């Protein structure tokens, strides 16, 4: 009998996947379960599993004797599970209690007690008669939220307090940056970057799993990543679990009607891929900045959210209830340079052609970005530029004007590199050779400047001082010739 009482005492103090502080109090007619540190949105229910005679042993522990099935277990459940006292005898460890909680859960029928809403982080279920209770979140109460169901709580009443155990993963998206005119290496992972159209951009998705993955039978993880229409996915995603590459994920990409791309990276059970509590799952891929890229401060935002298993009490294969994290965003910026061709009087000038080149430090050479012709117009736009060093060359000059010397200039941009909503904070253009002055607009992502062509030298017109001297000299020569001719004739006559 003493042995049976000790076993029942152990059973009554077990905690189902949570830490519990039991407050020893004198037995009252009814009792309460207080759930501490409870998040808003949780609605808890208590189901009486066993009932019987509640007493306190000599060590102050609660003992339930003369055990029978409680009011929270259906008749079908009582039949399927067998004798209540015999079932209680099998619960010798915490693992046994965990398994029993899931076994009895399908047969829960009527919630007991009077529940309250969360107040100051406490949720109280009161007016409970003596017994052994399974406490859980109300079904469907957390649909779609960034929250997880509390693991089943199995408690005996006297008055008790419990600290619920539930956890959710986190996800973040990052991008790397480089100024290829000046830098040798890329930056660390950050929240914004700027690139030229045509550049390949590295992205990273990183999920840190919940600290109770081990409580789930299977654990589902799905990255839902959206690339703006200015980015083309390069079909090169790689997935890592705690730093080791894995091929256990399914990767799909879909181009949507609005031009965006949805990238989905999923596994129905990361536990089968050796992921566990607090594991880090990383996805790395590249995308190319394309001609649809948005210029200026609006940039090209890209977001990811994580879908994850959030009910450890129902996590069998194919039966995962899931929640979603908030989305995390990065932005890729790109810019444009606008050249206005004018004459020496600042009047628009047609008939020019320009080539823009960018210096690449790795190859130590200038690479042509674009050639822009505009025979009838006077404005030349070079879109999709990164920060860096550039050279503008006039490859066709308006007739009657002198060709300008090549102009070298630097584009410098600043943007938030660590921010939930990164912003473009400044954009500047500065000449290094030649004459050019830029006007900046961060909103449009533009640097505008006038480039002046000066007219060539012209010959003096008729009647000008320059031709008069030729007329005078010509007249003198004619006169000299006449005098010489007359002199010769006189000399001939005299002979």
Instruction: Find the radius of gyration of the CA atoms of the chain.
Output: 41
- pLDDT score recorded for residue 481: 60
Q: pLDDT (tens digit, 0 to 9) for every residue of the chain, 495 residues total?
A: 444 333 333 333 333 333 333 333 334 478 888 888 777 778 889 999 999 988 888 877 778 899 999 999 999 999 999 999 999 888 888 888 888 998 999 999 999 988 776 777 788 898 889 888 999 888 887 876 788 888 887 777 888 888 877 789 999 999 999 999 999 999 999 999 999 999 999 999 999 999 999 989 999 999 999 999 999 999 999 999 999 999 999 999 999 999 999 999 999 999 999 999 999 999 999 999 999 999 999 999 999 999 999 999 888 877 788 999 999 999 999 999 999 999 999 999 999 999 999 999 999 999 999 888 876 789 999 999 999 999 999 999 999 999 999 999 999 999 999 999 999 999 999 999 988 999 999 999 999 999 999 887 645 555 445 555 545 555 566 566 655 665 655 555 555
- pLDDT score recorded for residue 162: 85
- pLDDT score recorded for residue 22: 32
Cβ(422)–Cβ(192) below 8 Å: yes
Cβ(108)–Cβ(47) below 8 Å: yes
Task: Encode the chain in three state secondary structure.
Answer: CHHHHHHHHHHHCCCCCCEEEECCCCCCCCEEEEEECCCCCCCEEEEEEEEEEEEECCCCCEEEEEEEECCCECHHHHHHHCCHHHHHHCCCCHHHHHHHHHHHHHHECCCECEECCCECCEEEEEEECCEEEEEEECCCCCCECCCCCCCCEEEEECCEEEECCCCCCEEEEEECCCCCCCCCCCCCCECEEECCCCCEEEEEEEEECCCCHHHCCCCCEEEEEEECCCEEECCCCEEEECCEEECCCEEEEEECCCCCEEEEEEECCHHHHCCCCCCEEEEEEEEEECCCCCCCCCCEEEEEEEEEECCCCCCCCCCCCEEECCCEEEEEECEEEEEEEEECCCCECCCCEEEEEEEECCCCEEEEEEEEECCCCCEEEEEEECCEEEEEEEEECCCCECCCCCEEEEEEEEECCCCCCCCEEEEEEEEEECCCCCEEECCCCEEEEEEEECECCCCCCCCCHHHHHHHHHHHHHHHHHHHHHHHHHHHHHHC
- pLDDT score recorded for residue 54: 84
Q: Read off the tokens for 171.
A: 């996800």
Q: What are phi and psi of 45, to 5 degrees?
A: -130, 145
- pLDDT score recorded for residue 158: 82
- pLDDT score recorded for residue 465: 52
């Amino acid at each position: 009998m003493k042995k049976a009482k000790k076993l029942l005492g152990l059973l009554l103090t077990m905690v189902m996947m949570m830490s519990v502080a039991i407050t020893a109090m004198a037995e009252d007619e009814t009792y309460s379960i207080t759930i501490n540190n409870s998040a808003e949105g949780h609605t808890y229910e208590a189901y009486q599993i066993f009932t019987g005679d509640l007493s306190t042993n000599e060590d102050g522990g609660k003992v339930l004797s003369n055990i029978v099935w409680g009011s929270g277990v259906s008749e079908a459940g009582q039949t399927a599970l067998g004798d209540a006292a015999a079932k209680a005898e099998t619960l010798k460890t915490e693992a046994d209690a965990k398994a029993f909680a899931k076994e009895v859960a399908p047969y829960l029928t009527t919630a007991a007690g009077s529940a309250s809403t969360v107040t100051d982080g406490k949720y109280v279920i009161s007016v409970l008669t003596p017994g052994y209770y399974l406490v859980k979140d109300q079904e469907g109460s957390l649909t779609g939220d960034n929250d997880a169901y509390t693991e089943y709580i199995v408690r005996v009443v006297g008055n008790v307090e419990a600290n619920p155990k539930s956890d959710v993963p986190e996800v973040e998206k990052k991008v790397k940056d480089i100024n290829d005119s000046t830098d040798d290496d890329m930056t660390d992972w950050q929240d914004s970057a700027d690139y030229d159209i045509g550049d390949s951009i590295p992205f990273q998705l990183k999920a840190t799993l919940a600290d109770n993955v081990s409580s789930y039978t299977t654990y589902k993880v799905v990255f839902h990543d959206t690339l703006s229409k200015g980015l083309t996915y390069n079909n090169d995603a790689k997935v890592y679990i705690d730093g080791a590459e894995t091929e256990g994920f399914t990767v799909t990409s879909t181009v949507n009607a609005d031009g965006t791309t949805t990238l989905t990276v999923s596994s129905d059970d990361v536990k089968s891929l050796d992921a566990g509590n607090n594991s880090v799952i990383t996805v790395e891929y590249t995308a190319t900045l394309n001609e649809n890229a948005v210029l200026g401060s609006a940039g090209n935002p890209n977001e990811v959210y994580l879908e994850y298993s959030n009910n450890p009490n129902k996590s069998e294969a194919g039966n995962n209830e899931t929640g979603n994290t908030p989305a995390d965003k990065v932005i890729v910026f790109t810019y444009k340079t606008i050249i206005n061709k004018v004459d020496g009087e600042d009047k628009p000038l047609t008939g020019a052609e320009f080539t823009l080149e960018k210096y690449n430090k790795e190859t130590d050479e200038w690479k042509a970005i674009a050639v822009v012709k505009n025979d009838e117009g006077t404005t030349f736009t070079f879109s999709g530029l990164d920060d860096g060093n550039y050279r503008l060359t006039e490859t066709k000059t308006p007739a009657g004007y002198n060709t300008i010397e090549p102009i070298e200039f630097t584009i410098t941009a600043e943007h938030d590199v660590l921010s939930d909503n990164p912003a473009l904070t400044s954009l500047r253009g500065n000449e290094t050779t030649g004459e050019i002055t830029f006007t900046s607009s961060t909103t449009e992502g533009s640097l505008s400047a006038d480039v002046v062509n000066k007219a060539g030298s012209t010959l003096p017109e008729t009647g000008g001082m320059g031709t008069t001297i030729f007329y005078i000299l010509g007249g003198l020569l004619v006169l000299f010739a006449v005098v010489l001719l007359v002199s010769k004739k006189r000399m001939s006559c005299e002979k």
